[in-house]
Amino acid sequence: MLKILTILILLTLTLPADGRLFFRRSGYYRPAVTWSTGIRADDQAACQRKANYMAKYRISGHPLAIIGRFEGTGYGRGMPGTCVPYYRMTLTGDARATATNGTVYRVRSWR
């Protein structure tokens, strides 16, 4: 019994930080610098319209139809982060707008 308890404690101490021993995704998070940038005028304009709308009505989330194949929205102070796609995609639009209370709304689109 003592051997089993010792093995369990050692196994617990050697697990990865996220606690996943099995079924790990490789490439779970890729920083934004790995995606290529190909800003398109139509996607950029759509992102700006959506950011302006979100700032005007103080909406968080995805208020209208999604731009491109994947869309990330965020809000906060400074340069807020947004959702990012798991698969490699090209960033096609990145816009932000500031509400009257100083909150910055950001919209990014990928294809």
pLDDT tens by residue, 84-110: 888 888 999 999 999 999 999 999 999
Helix, coil or strand: residue 95:
strand
Cα dihedral 9, 14, 18, 21 sign: negative
pTM for the full model?
0.67
Among candidates 59, 33, 53, which has minimal Cα distance to 95? 53
pLDDT tens by residue, 17-55: 545 555 444 444 444 444 567 888 999 999 999 999 999
What tokens were used for 69? Answer: 């194949």
Lowest mean pLDDT among 9-18, 34-43, 59-68: 9-18
> pLDDT-based confidence at 5, cuts 50/70/90?
confident
| Segments in the chain forming alpha helices (H) | 2-13, 41-57
Question: 16 or 25: whose pLDDT is higher?
Answer: 16
Helix, coil or strand: residue 41:
helix
52: part of which helix (H) or strand (E)?
helix 41-57
CA distance 50 to 97: 9
